[in-house]
Amino acid sequence: MPDMNPTSLQHLIYLVTGGVALIVVAATYFLLRSRLGLVLASIRDNEVSARSSGTKVTSARRLVFLIAAAGTGAAGAVLALSQTYLQTGNEFNLQWAAEMLFVSMIGGLGTIEGPILGCIIFFALQQSLAQQGAWYLIIFGSVAVAVAIWQPRGLWGAFRDRFHIELLPVGHWIGDRKSETIDHRSMLERLNLKHPKKPSD
């Protein structure tokens, strides 16, 4: 790539970044729709119940850790490709972690669409408030607090509940009822109703 002109290099970086983002989103979607996704949902809701039902919690966590490491490694490769030099103290400092939390919080936790929407809002605010100095951080914090108080499920969660639209559903079907999708928590509640616990002596 040293022989490439800056315009071609930027175009290549843009294509690679878009491709990596698309692959990560698709992999996350199919992972959550798979049997492993159901296992992860059961671990999230109640780890003790998941272990008692025979779920291999440690193996599932190890596998997800490896998948997440591959995704973050790909993101780091794109970052290294787009910059001439890197300083880990500057690139991955506390502010970077806070920005990721901000993106997830305002977009909506527990969804795929939420962080995507959060990224769009974050970069829109960042570009429009870049000249405001310290007010930039104050406004970011105010938006995060407001969303946490009045929309704890995030903006995408509020939009989904209002209009019943879900672009990337990660729920699972129950039986033959193909006209209805339910999330993992609802599914576990229905299973508990079908198989109530026996009273202990």
pLDDT in tens, 124-182: 888 888 787 778 778 888 888 898 888 888 898 888 888 888 888 876 555 544 444 44
In-domain check, residue 40 = yes
In-domain check, residue 16 = yes
Question: Do 99 and 60 fall into the same domain?
Answer: no
What pLDDT sits at residue 141? 83
What pLDDT sits at residue 196? 53
CA distances from 171 to 38, 69, 98, 112 (A): 9, 25, 29, 12
Question: Do 98 and 131 fall into the same domain?
Answer: yes
What pLDDT sits at residue 189? 55
In-domain check, residue 198 = no
Question: Do 19 and 40 fall into the same domain?
Answer: yes
Count of domains for the chain = 2
Domain that holds residue 158: 93-170
- Give pLDDT < 70 ranges for the chain: 1-4, 86-92, 171-201
Of 90, 113, 140, the residue that ends a domain is 90
